[in-house]
Chain A
Amino acid sequence: MMAASVDMRAQRGDKQPLTLWLIAVLVSVLILGPVLVLLRTSVSPAGSMPFDGWHVTLEHYTSIFTRAENLRLAANTMLYALGSVSIGVAIATGIAWATERTDMPGRMVARVMMFSWMAVPPLVMGFGWILLINPGNGALNALAKSIFGLNDPLFTIYSLWSLIAITALAVVPTAFVMVSGLMRNMDPQLEQAATVHGASGAVIARRITLPLVAPGVLSVAIFMFMAVVQAFDLPLIIGLTARIPVLSTRIYLLSSPDAGIPNYGLSSAFGVVLLAVAALLMWGYFRATRLSERFRVVTGRGFRPRRIALGGWRWPVFAAVSFYFLLMVLPLAMLFWASLLPSYRLPSLDALGSANFASYARVLGQGTVQRAIVNTILLVLVSASIVMALSSLIAWFSVRGRSVLGRFVDVLSFAPTAVPPIVMVMAILLLYLQSPLYGTLWILILGHVTIYIAFGTRTMGGALMQIHKELADAAAISGAGWFTSLRCITLPLMWPHILNGWLWVVAHSARDLTIPLVLMTTGNLVVATALWQMWDFPDLPGASAVAMLLVAGLLVLVVPLQIYAARRGDRGQ
């Protein structure tokens, strides 16, 4: 029996330390490498390439903080993020209340649509809105002209306010997912207590429900603010034409200018500033979530939230929620229309006659599109699989193990949340520009693994924490080693979460434009970048067809799972 004992220094289990060390090195290279290069480049003289010489200068930072135009840039960014987040989170909270706490008809469909919306790239939304309300021939503008007899266009896409409004609509689904979780987990007894003491439905919503979810909603708002400050696609396609640069697009233009040579030094310095802003917001987010912890209303007991009967308000509430979905579907419908015609015409019965699917056949026959599709499939499958494998292991080590190294890896893997994708991809570009990786699909995979690993470890960490520690302890007592325990107990229990996370990464990796655009070469075109190029060319019917194909592909993947999850959730877990 003595042979079974092992040295205490190795007691944390057979191969664990080695695996953990490997992961630590890998994650450090992935995340710290680019950030260090970014910092180095931001203090390099203008015109020099990364790794050229040792000269250090603060000229870029001086220029950032002294030039007046940068004040406007900051104000734009601020107004843009604040405006779209306030509107978006307010709409999301309203809809979440309607679907989770009331008996509004069609609430399950609403929920599935919200959760499935991650299948729609912001890029595609933006293109749709450009077709709808551009001042020249926007469909809605044309409609308004014919109805009200106006001479000037009613809307214009190219303004800060349009950018804010469209981003707000795009913010809603993500904010909804987070806020509805808060509403769903609230103990209905708190509301029942108010009913017993004589409060009406409206009073309960105003005095009980809203104050209870307020701290949670605030932390959601900060999180979304962080996301919008980092957002790149919508400011790129709408803001640049409108000449409203924000921080993220400025960084892009400096490193990939239309004319002239890239100014990597200044771009990196801007990147460092944006990184600092994001880190500050992150700190605020953690403070706010700590506050909401104190208000915690999640009791963990199994209960079915009691729904408020809307009575006569059922249909008005339903109409309001439906209006939001109309706004979401409109740009997609517009793109679909554009994809059916050989050359763009305003929607009319007359034009419907010449509608066909020729554009689809045309784009699918193009070699570049075919390559882009193959590349995209490879990119999303490989990225999502690597992310979920890595983050499951990291979460397992940090939640279950108690080593300092495990915690270090955990914190490090969360860091990319504070690094805006546009900054991260800049840094990756700088680090790998002269390596053989540059220009291949692998650098895109590397980029997506780096930026989505934070999501993966958070999701897996949360899932793992829900799995009672004693379940794994029971396996150990029964005689199972750490690997058997992981294989037979922990992984089967985490499987639904892993699948869900995998799907999330697949959807986001497929719709992302930031990483592929900055690292784009002829060799690593993906669907998002192909779409961007066709739009820019311009090949409107072709771009619309590719956009519809991308959305359709993602919906096929995402919707069935969301329906299944919603059904299961409605049955009361």
Chain B
Amino acid sequence: MAEPVLTIASLTKVFPAIGPASQPALNGVSFDVAQGEFFTLLGPSGCGKTTTLQCIAGLEVPSAGKITMGGQTVFSSEHHLMVPANKRDLGMVFQSYAIWPHMTVFENVAFPLIHGPRKVARSEIEPRVREALARVKLDHLADRPAPLLSGGQQQRVALARALVHTPRLLLLDEPLSNLDAKLRDLMRSELRALVKSLGITTMFVTHDQVEAMSMSDRVALMRDGRIVQIGAPRDIYLKPTSAFTANFMGHSNMVPGKVRSTGVVETALGVLQVDDATQPAGATVFVIVRPQSAVIHRGNADDILNRCSARITDLNFIGDQIEVDAQCGSLHLRLVVDSYGDLRLGEQVVVELLRDRLVLVPHDGSVG
């Protein structure tokens, strides 16, 4: 990896206590972001992802830790150093978009060029604003007063404003959450394509795992002020290292069990063979069964590994697939089959759990 453009080291933030106990909002958060990377902070509300972003932006002062941007330390508790937000050379799209209602679209976008740290010659402002607006396909609305824009247009103006001065880092605070579903799908791919074409390093904050997975190069999953797991979307989804990750990233069936020896786990479904060798013998674990990691067989299937007989208790046709609820002994599994399956309610089947798709995570008591 090249020299990271952003380094966060042991970031901690404690808000002044309101209740009796004050739990830190951030508790030793550390990560690096590489030049040009699309990096996402993902997590449920209250996990500290927005606080992290605000600390990077300089809108919030961390209690401890260090933030470095392109070799410049912008925050260090050790050296009592804090570069204010307006000197950090950033661009940001806010959750509310924060389009200034008393200005036109053009004036909004021109603001960073006129008042920013790297002021631009007067003659250069007009072409650069036009260029930024063209990039988000809004060049025809330059003179429109900001309040007369739709939600999607406001979001584009916010994006143009955040990019017009080519900041060293683009911060996106749940920018898609206020759009309707269709526009959100469209903007997801457009947004990623835009920042990738400009090569701008992007920090993205969201609580939506679909957004995180579809847009990011890497995702950091957060919980209770800590980072739980960092990795490429595929790794986080397919190789969760905790019950929380498995549950947060789409649906998971959690089968409790105990590792007998490497690759062999005792569960209520019987003894399962798994390829995952991360957990030591004797450990209590959850076997993570993704809905897609099982196959449903009809009729006799004695020669199959990791099988259990089950009864179909519910079928839910949702168009692109069918959700199947199967009762395997005392356990309840949620599986999916493609839309053309013809399973019937109450039918007896055999469920095969695919050993290469099963993942073991520690049974830490919390299911998330």
Interface residues, chain A, CB within 8 Å of chain B? 1-2, 4-9, 11, 13, 468, 470-471, 473-481, 484, 488-489, 492-493
Q: Please indicate which of the listed interface residues A473, A478, A492 has the most CB atoms of chain B within 10 Å of its own CB.
A: A478
Task: Flag the segment in B83-91, B210-218, B277-285 that touches A.
Answer: B83-91
Give the CA-CA distance A477 to B74 in the complex, in Å.
Answer: 14
Contact status of A8 and B80, CB under 8 A, knowing A468-B98, A473-B85, A479-B86: yes
Residue contact A479 to B87, C-beta cutoff 8 Å: yes
Query: Chain B contacts of A492 at CB under 8 A?
Result: 102
Q: B4: CB under 8 A from chain A?
A: no
Give the CA-CA distance A347 to B252 in the complex, in Å.
Answer: 90
Number of cross-chain contacts by CB at 8 Å? 100
Task: Flag the segment in B56-64, B134-142, B198-206 that touches A.
Answer: B56-64
Give the CA-CA distance A5 to B87 in the complex, in Å.
Answer: 8
Q: Smallest Cβ distance from B186 to chain A, in angstroms?
A: 24
Residue contact A476 to B86, C-beta cutoff 8 Å: yes
Given A473-B98, A480-B115, output 9 extra A-B contacts at Cβ < 8 Å. Answer: A5-B74, A5-B87, A8-B80, A11-B82, A473-B85, A474-B158, A476-B58, A478-B86, A478-B161
Residue contact A473 to B94, C-beta cutoff 8 Å: yes
Query: Chain A contacts of B82 at CB under 8 A?
Result: 5-8, 11
Residue contact A489 to B87, C-beta cutoff 8 Å: no
Residues of B78-124 at the interface with A, using a CB-CB cut-off of 8 Å, are 80-92, 94-98, 100-102, 111-112, 115-118
Contact status of A476 and B84, CB under 8 A, knowing A4-B117, A11-B61: yes
* Residue interface bits B54-80, CB-to-A below 8 A is 1, else 0: 000111010000000000111001001
Query: Chain A contacts of B96 at CB under 8 A?
Result: 468, 470
Q: Which residue of A lies closest to B109 (CB)?
A: A478
Contact status of A476 and B59, CB under 8 A, knowing A1-B72, A8-B81, A488-B115: yes
Partner of B86, one of A470, A477, A489: A477
Residue contact A475 to B73, C-beta cutoff 8 Å: no
Residue contact B117 to A474, C-beta cutoff 8 Å: no
Q: Smallest Cβ distance from B94 to chain A, in angstroms?
A: 4
Query: Chain A contacts of B77 at CB under 8 A?
Result: 8
Give the CA-CA distance A428 to B96 in the complex, in Å.
Answer: 47
Query: Chain B contacts of A9 at CB under 8 A?
Result: 80
Q: B223: CB under 8 A from chain A?
A: no
Q: B207: CB under 8 A from chain A?
A: no
Q: Can you offer 11 A-B residue contacts whose CB atoms are under 8 A?
A: A5-B74, A6-B82, A8-B81, A470-B95, A473-B94, A474-B94, A476-B58, A476-B85, A477-B91, A479-B86, A479-B117
Q: B156: CB under 8 A from chain A?
A: no
Q: B13: CB under 8 A from chain A?
A: no
Residue contact B98 to A4, C-beta cutoff 8 Å: no
Give the CA-CA distance A471 to B96 in the complex, in Å.
Answer: 9
Interface residues, chain B, CB within 8 Å of chain A? 57-59, 61, 72-74, 77, 80-92, 94-98, 100-102, 111-112, 115-118, 158, 161-162, 165, 171
Q: Smallest Cβ distance from B83 to chain A, in angstroms?
A: 4
Residue contact B102 to A6, C-beta cutoff 8 Å: no
Give the CA-CA distance A5 to B74 in the complex, in Å.
Answer: 7
Q: Please indicate which of the listed interface residues B57, B72, B86, B171 has the most CB atoms of chain A within 10 Å of its own CB.
A: B86
Residue contact B80 to A470, C-beta cutoff 8 Å: no
Give the CA-CA distance A363 to B286 in the complex, in Å.
Answer: 94
Q: Smallest Cβ distance from A504 to chain B, in angstroms?
A: 22
Query: Chain B contacts of A13 at CB under 8 A?
Result: 84
Give the CA-CA distance A4 to B89 in the complex, in Å.
Answer: 11
Q: Which residue of B lies closest to A485 (CB)?
A: B86
Give the CA-CA distance A475 to B59 in the complex, in Å.
Answer: 11
Q: Which residue of B lies closest to A472 (CB)?
A: B98
Query: Chain B contacts of A493 at CB under 8 A?
Result: 100-102
Q: Smallest Cβ distance from A498 to chain B, in angstroms?
A: 13
Contact status of A2 and B115, CB under 8 A, knowing A11-B61, A477-B85, A479-B86: no
Q: Which residue of B lies closest to A487 (CB)?
A: B115
Residue contact A478 to B111, C-beta cutoff 8 Å: yes
Contact status of A7 and B80, CB under 8 A, knowing A470-B94, A479-B165: yes
Give the CA-CA distance A493 to B89 in the complex, in Å.
Answer: 25
Query: Chain A contacts of B100 at CB under 8 A?
Result: 471, 474-475, 489, 493
Q: Smallest Cβ distance from B164 to chain A, in angstroms?
A: 9
Q: Smallest Cβ distance from B224 to chain A, in angstroms?
A: 24
Give the CA-CA distance A475 to B116 in the complex, in Å.
Answer: 9
Residue contact B112 to A479, C-beta cutoff 8 Å: yes
Residue contact B59 to A5, C-beta cutoff 8 Å: no
Q: Smallest Cβ distance from A5 to chain B, in angstroms?
A: 4
Contact status of A5 and B83, CB under 8 A, knowing A470-B95, A470-B98: yes
Contact status of A481 and B80, CB under 8 A, knowing A473-B59, A474-B98: no
Residue contact B84 to A6, C-beta cutoff 8 Å: yes
Query: Chain A contacts of B88 at CB under 8 A?
Result: 477
Q: Smallest Cβ distance from B84 to chain A, in angstroms?
A: 6
Q: Please indicate which of the listed interface residues A5, A474, A476 has the most CB atoms of chain B within 10 Å of its own CB.
A: A474
Query: Chain B contacts of A473 at CB under 8 A?
Result: 57, 59, 85, 92, 94, 98
Give the CA-CA distance A540 to B64 in the complex, in Å.
Answer: 74
Q: Please indicate which of the listed interface residues A5, A7, A481, A488 has the most CB atoms of chain B within 10 Å of its own CB.
A: A5
Give the CA-CA distance A484 to B84 in the complex, in Å.
Answer: 14
Q: Which residue of A lies closest to B92 (CB)?
A: A477
Give the CA-CA distance A50 to B58 in the complex, in Å.
Answer: 52
Q: Smallest Cβ distance from A293 to chain B, in angstroms?
A: 17
Partner of A474, one of B80, B87, B92, B165: B92
Q: Which residue of B lies closest to A491 (CB)?
A: B102
Q: Smallest Cβ distance from B325 to chain A, in angstroms?
A: 36
Q: Smallest Cβ distance from A117 to chain B, in angstroms?
A: 31
Q: Smallest Cβ distance from B128 to chain A, in angstroms?
A: 14
Nearest first, the 10 A-B pairs at minimum CB distance are A479-B116, A478-B112, A470-B98, A474-B98, A476-B85, A11-B82, A8-B80, A470-B94, A480-B115, A477-B92
